[in-house]
Amino acid sequence: MLTESTTEVVIAGAGPTGLTLAYELALAGVETLVLEKLPQRIEQVKGGGIQPRTAELLELRGLLEPLLRRAVSRDAVGGHFAALPVPLDCSPWGTRHPFPLAIPQWEIEAVLEERAVAAGARVLRGTAVSGVEPDRDGVVVTAGGLRGRAGYLVACDGGHSTVRKLLGLPFPGRPGTHQAVLADIRLSAVSPLVPRQMGHMSTLTRHAGGYWSMLVPLGGDRYRITFGHADQTDLDRDTPVTHEEITTALRAVYGEETTLGAVDNSSRFGDATRQLEHYRAGRVLFAGDAAHIHPPLGGQGLNLGIQDAFNLGWKLAATVQGRAPSGLLDSYHTERHPVAAQVLHHSSAQRVLADPNPSEDVAALREIVIDLLRLPDANRHIAGLMSGLSLRYPLSGDHPLTGQRAPDADLVTEAGATRLSALFGSGHAVLLDLAGTVPADLRLPPRVDLVRATSPADLGAAALLIRPDGYVSWAADGSADHGDTLLATIAGDLATMP
């Protein structure tokens, strides 16, 4: 719990972002406390799609396999852009996980919390943050009637972030204009218009009676419905979703014979688009929806947050433990702010294209975009954006792999056959020597592992320094003098590795 002694890092919010960050910090040996206002996890339907790049990151820590066991569907269904009828093909990006995964958010949270606690993080539920007083050396946090100090506070407390509001930080952007409902339901009778099996998003989406609706079959009589009405603009997000409200939408879109049996859980969401100008305010940092919100088109919000946490975790750990060079923690904002800005940008484009009552001009634009998506190069580009696979951080260095996610190649080491992704379970950085030219006497920081290996694949480099989040910090081809290059060029990079 909060005490007068300083906790190294306090995280506000036990959603996917906060719990991923807690695991990353605890794995690095950082004292971590998560404060969550809800007394217990609610099995309330929210975003639960894992995009390919997020799946790759989770696999680095051995988190993907337990999540796959909880997946609603592992069908090989391509992603989508604005629910247009052209599946996005991620296979040209060379990933082992080319399809989005449908996993309920509470299941994701359960796995992440279990791992975070096992690594040493503490999660205190029923404890809402009510006061934040930052100073030069830390933050005084008041929560649940308790008061204590944190070396750093990370706000992962959602789009309505209490921490952000307590600090009076502006959250610029476009206010929401429409409301929608997301619910897990059971149908006691269905019409021929109700989809019976999982398919591409475009086959699950319908427009009728002023409504737009997406109905996803979950097996048996269970469905997940997302719907809205063109005139629905004024309901508060906390207004309960009623049985009658869902029934009216179902009958308008899927016919009078479609009958609602039960509502397992439900929630509302809006289409506001906002982003903090700065992800760091002294000793307070922001991640996930506390830093950026956008319409949930393409299933990217949860993924952005988890990727924020993977980027921030190792940098904050190095900073807390006194091993980070100047500027490392600020690079979190430098690298992640443009990523969210891009998502907000194409979410706005999707919002226009997905309008259930498009103007003649928008309808014409939709047809043009559909034609473009049928072109392999255009499809690859949009698939890379939506999946996160095209992400490249602006790191220094001329090698084409620098800043990119390291390819998950098959490797052979002294211990036997393995994969690159299997080298990161400890949360360490990896110096991968594929040509046997890294000096044997090279002194590495404690949390950088030297791995000598061969690979049947051409990774595009003979040696790579790979960050704990799987991105290449430095690379050299076979003609480089690795000894001199490593010592002279990446001394600073090695120093940043926790």
Whether 353 shows a pLDDT value over 60: the answer reads yes
120 and 157 fall within a common domain: yes
Based on the domain organization, do 135 and 280 belong to the same domain?
yes
Which range, 235-249, 294-308, 375-389, is most confident? 375-389
Q: How far apart are CA 371 and CA 24, in angstroms?
A: 42
The more confident residue out of 301 and 113 is 113
Co-location of 146 and 280 in the same domain: yes
Residues 130 and 190 in one domain: no
Looking at the structure, do residues 151 and 300 belong to the same domain, yes or no? yes
pTM as predicted: 0.93
Burial class (CB in 10 A: 0-12, 13-18, 19+), 174: middle
Do 335 and 371 belong together in one domain?
yes
**pLDDT of 66 above 90:** yes
> What Rg, from alpha-carbon coordinates, does the chain have?
23
Based on the domain organization, do 17 and 105 belong to the same domain?
yes
Check pLDDT > 70 for residue 139: yes
Quote the domain boundaries for residue 45.
Answer: 6-172+274-387
Instruction: Give the list of residues 6+ apart from residue 103 with CB closer than 8 angstroms, or none.
Output: 48, 49, 50, 67, 68, 70, 71, 72
Q: Tell me if 469 is assigned to some domain.
A: yes
Q: For the chain, what is the mean pLDDT?
A: 90
Query: Can you give the pLDDT at residue 229?
Result: 85
166 shares a domain with 79: yes
Which tops the pLDDT comparison, 331 or 205? 331
Is the confidence at residue 58, as pLDDT, over 60?
Answer: yes
Mean pLDDT of 290-307: 88
| Domain stop point among 219, 240, 270 | 270
- Residue, of 446 and 321, whose pLDDT is higher: 321
The pLDDT-based confidence of 437 (bands split at 50, 70, 90) is confident
Is the pLDDT at 498 greater than 50? The verdict is: no
In a domain, 392, yes or no: no
Q: Are residues 300 and 341 in the same domain?
A: yes
Number of folded domains in the chain? 3
Query: Distance between CA 149 and CA 183 in Å, rounded?
Result: 39
Which tops the pLDDT comparison, 33 or 494? 33
Q: Are residues 71 and 168 in the same domain?
A: yes
Q: Which residues pair with 151 in a beta bridge?
A: none
My answer on whether 145 and 39 are in the same domain is yes
Express each pLDDT in 13-30 by its tens digit.
Answer: 999 999 999 999 999 999
- Which of 239, 270, 301 is the last residue in one of the domains? 270
pLDDT of 9 strictly over 60:
yes
Whether the pLDDT of residue 46 is over 90: the answer is no
Answer yes or no: do 130 and 166 share one domain: yes
Cα 74 from Cα 197, distance rounded (Å): 12
Among the listed ranges 51-60, 80-89, 398-407, 442-451, which one has the minimum average pLDDT value? 442-451
Assess whether pLDDT exceeds 90 at residue 370. Answer: yes
Task: Please report, for the domain that includes residue 22, its CATH number.
Answer: 3.50.50.60
Compute the average pLDDT of residues 92-96: 94
Give the three-state DSSP class for 154.
strand
Query: Nearest to residue 498, comparing CAs of 53, 34, 27?
Result: 27
pLDDT at 477: 85
d(CA 143, CA 10): 11
Contacts of 353 (CB under 8 A, 6+ apart): 81, 82, 84, 362, 365, 366, 369
Does 197 fall in a domain?
A: yes
Q: Report if residue 405 sits inside a domain.
A: no
Q: Which domain-ending residue is among 387, 402, 426?
A: 387
Express as a percent the part of the chain with pLDDT over 90.
Answer: 65
Cβ neighbours of residue 490 closer than 8 Å, sequence gap 6 or more:
465, 473, 474
Range of weakest confidence among 104-118, 234-248, 331-345, 483-497: 483-497
Task: Examine the pLDDT at 359 and tell me if it is beyond 50.
Answer: yes
pLDDT digits (tens, 9 = 90+) for 148-205: 999 999 999 999 999 999 999 999 999 888 888 989 999 999 999 999 888 888 888 8
221: pLDDT strictly greater than 70 = yes
Q: Domain containing 259 — which CATH number? A: 3.30.70.2450
- pLDDT-derived band of residue 392, with 50, 70 and 90 as boundaries? very high
